[in-house]
Amino acid sequence: MKKILFLIIIFLISCDGNNQKEIEWTKNGTLHQSKISDWKNATEENKLATCADFVANLKKVEHQEYKTMSEMKSDAINMKTCIEEAVNGGDYADDINVSEVAVLCHMMIKTTN
């Protein structure tokens, strides 16, 4: 009986570690209230984590939720790519809020799907 209990505890601990790794990419996004100039200088991890927050909040506004983390990550990657493409090639957008570009990207992505 002790062996079974021990195995169950080990299994639960290992599952928790896998879940932790699965959501680690969503943490430490700090660009929510930033300007595009800050976005351009941020790390890829910060951009992706910020986009994770954006897409999760936009889903909530639409009274929906993600069924899987991989679905959320796919949308966050699409959001990040859209923001990158929207502001690439000049400094014309440097004073625009990242959140404003994210909303525009969300509307564009929705119309193409």
pLDDT tens sequence across 8-49: 443 333 334 445 566 889 999 999 999 999 999 999 999 999
Whether pLDDT at 6 is above 70: no
pLDDT at 41: 96
Q: Quick check: pTM over 0.85?
A: no
pLDDT at 30: 96
Closest to 102 measured CA to CA, from 64, 48, 60? 48
pLDDT at 103: 94
Whether pLDDT at 113 is above 90: no
Per-chain mean pLDDT for the chain:
84
Nearest 5°: the CA angle 112, 49, 12 is 110
Q: Which residue has the higher pLDDT, 50 or 19?
A: 50
pLDDT at 22: 65
Contact call for residues 79 and 86 (beta carbons, < 8 A): no
